[in-house]
Amino acid sequence: MNFENTLSFAQDLDRQDKLSLFRNEFLIPQHNGKDIIYLCGNSLGLQPKSTKKQIEILLNQWENHAVEGWFTKGVEWMHFHESMQHSLAKICGAKPSEVTPMNNLTVNLHLMMVSFYKPTAKRHKILMEARAFPSDQYAIDSQVQFHGYQPEEAVIELGPNEGENLLRTEDILATIDKHKDELALILMGGINYLSGQLFDMETITKHAKQYGITVGFDLAHAMGNAPLKLHDWGVDFAMWCSYKYMNSSPGGISGIFVHENNYANKELQRFAGWWGYEKETRFLMTRKFKPEQGAEGWQVSTSQMLLLAAHKASLDIFDRAGFENLRAKSELLTAYLEFIIDGVNQKAGKLLYEIVTPRDKKQRGCQLSIIAHHPEPKKVFEKLTENGVIGDWREPNVMRFAPVPLYNTFEDVYRFGEILALNC
Ligand SMILES: *Cc1c(COP(=O)(O)O)cnc(C)c1O
């Protein structure tokens, strides 16, 4: 499409957008009496208007049924998460039994590594991307240490080549080849949080599986943002958080994926808790742990009903919008943001704002990460905030902006460009 850097063009695209009504289902913070230009769904998604209602329903159930809420017909908290397995499965390309909401992300990273990081003297290394999200680095290092190895030796962090900002798939595959007999696990982000690069999870997984290497992905930035086919790709496990693109409340419930190929593997150990016990017989309270088949067998503690209520509000919106429609809009919206930023540079006559996220739409979600080559990059960012643009800032000079197809408009992107241009 040939884009134009005009308000009327942006408004035309909004008029043609079949998903435009969804914006009205979200609460948008105000700035000087106008909707803020919120480009930070990569960090915290906006609140759906229906969240309050879902939480209120839950509070009323608690009020009226108390403990009987777990089983009373029509309430049945016991099964509340099951209605969400279908929605989650559609978003990540899984079977419903392969996914479940539970816990928080870093907790799930640990629980998944307990099962899927099975080091032996010969095969004990983990491959991850350099500059991964800190929590993933800490979780991986501490798991390695827990098994008696040193992170310096056992964790391979693959970074971009000298002078580049992105990882090349061929380099990832070559690294796998080189360490094929030592790698116990590959655990990468689906999308790197800093660069916004979407990795070729299918190619990486298929390449690693031929050597018998276990593969997992942290989908914090990919879930609800990038197309996923976890089951077909043969990914062993994954986990994500729900408060970024999934709009399910700050610190909201996380989720996991476990491929059904792993269900029958008796060697998989897990840190067990009663909520992972076979559902039919859980309340017989017997002595020996017997896991529920599927992802639910990794649950540990009683489901967090309030967080599930918030999650439900958001997942209902995803169900109605349809992920493929969202992705189609997302590609266009991010391409427009790219065009607008390029335009600001052209107008300035120099590369003030360098987009480091891949220009190929297959290698990114909606987020664009920008290195500001401005003499005072932090000031630029502060000026954006003062003018009603919310993005985020990562030291020393990276700004991230994510136009989210559920609630952002082409006009948001156009106005963002106007404000960015003030800083030339
Ligand atoms: C956001 C994010 C986290 C945060 O983990 P929490 O346990 O939810 O605090 C972890 N890893 C990645 C890759 C993230 O993007």
Q: Is 214 annotated as a binding residue?
A: no
pLDDT at 267: 86
Residue 106 amino acid letter: T
pLDDT at 95: 98
Q: Is 133 annotated as a binding residue?
A: yes
372 pLDDT exceeds 80? yes
Cβ–Cβ under 8 Å, residues 401 and 391:
yes
Closest CA to 299 of 275, 318, 263, 322: 275
pLDDT at 46: 98
Q: Residue for token digits 């099975």?
A: 118
pLDDT at 201: 98
pLDDT at 22: 98
3-state secondary structure of 370: strand
* Mutation test residue for ligand 1: of 105, 243, 400, the one with most atoms within 8 Å of CB: 105
State the closest ligand 1 atom to the C-alpha of 189, by its place in the atom list counted from 1: 13
Distances (CA, A) of 366 to 42, 330, 363: 9, 6, 10
Model confidence band, residue 268 (pLDDT cutoffs 50, 70, 90): very high
Q: Is 38 annotated as a binding residue?
A: no
Q: Is 7 annotated as a binding residue?
A: no
pLDDT at 374: 87
What pLDDT, in 10s, does the model give residues 304-360? 999 999 999 999 999 999 999 999 999 999 999 999 999 999 999 999 999 999 999
Task: Judge whether 7-35+322-422 and 55-320 match in fold.
Answer: no
423 pLDDT exceeds 80? no
Task: Give the per-residue SS3 of 209-244.
Answer: HCCCCEEEEECCCCCCCCCCCHHHHCCCEEEECCCC
What pLDDT, in 10s, does the model give residues 347-371? 999 999 999 999 999 999 999 999 9
What the block records as the tokens of 186 is 């590959």
Mean pLDDT calculated for residue range 159-169: 96
**What CATH number does the domain located at 55-320 have?**
3.40.640.10
Mean pLDDT calculated for residue range 101-121: 97
Question: What is the pTM assigned to this prediction?
Answer: 0.97
174 pLDDT exceeds 90? yes
399 pLDDT exceeds 80? yes
The residues spanned by each domain of the chain are 7-35+322-422, 55-320
* Mutation test residue for ligand 1: of 111, 135, 136, the one with most atoms within 8 Å of CB: 135
pLDDT at 1: 85
* Topology classification of domain 7-35+322-422: Aspartate Aminotransferase, domain 1 (3.90.1150)
Within 10 Å of residue 177's Cβ, how many Cβ atoms?
11
What pLDDT, in 10s, does the model give residues 22-81? 999 999 999 999 999 999 999 999 999 999 999 999 999 999 999 999 999 999 999 999
φ, ψ of residue 31 to 5 degrees: the values are: -140, 120
Which residues share a beta bridge with 415? Answer: none
Model confidence band, residue 375 (pLDDT cutoffs 50, 70, 90): confident
* Mutation test residue for ligand 1: of 107, 133, 244, the one with most atoms within 8 Å of CB: 133
Query: Separation of 416 CA from ligand 1 center, angstroms?
Result: 27
CA 8, CA 303: separation in Å to the nearest integer?
48
Cβ–Cβ under 8 Å, residues 267 and 118:
yes
